[in-house]
Amino acid sequence: MKKFNLHKYNDDQIIEALNCPVNRHCTRVEHSCDDWELFKHPEWLLEHFILNGGATAFARHREEMQYWIEEIDK
C-alpha cells in the first residue's frame, strides 16, 4: 500500500519558501526590510509564499515529486 509522505512534502515546501530568491526578494520589498530582518522573521517568508500563490504552485508539482512511499503491511 502507498502512503503520502506529508512530513517530507511540508518540509520541502518550507525549504522552498525560505530559500526561493523570488519569494525572498518580494518579501523584502513587502516589508521594506533587509536579509537580517528576514532571518529574524521567517514567518514573513512563509506567509508571503502561501498568500501569493507559492503553495498553490508547489502543489501543482506534487505528482512529479517522490512523496508516495510504500508502506509495508504488518
pLDDT score, position 73:
67
Domain that holds residue 26: 2-70
Average pLDDT per consecutive 10 residues, the chain (74 residues; last block may be shorter): 87 95 97 97 96 90 79 70
Answering whether pTM is above 0.85, one says no
In this structure, how many other beta carbons lie within 10 angstroms of the beta carbon of residue 41? Answer: 14
**DSSP H stretches of helix in the chain:** 6-19, 21-31, 35-40, 42-51, 54-60
Domains contained in the chain, number: 1
Contacts of residue 74, Cβ cutoff 8 Å, sequence gap at least 6? none
- Per-residue model confidence (pLDDT) at position 3: 86
**pLDDT confidence of residue 24:** 97
Q: Return the bridge partners of 4, or none.
A: 68
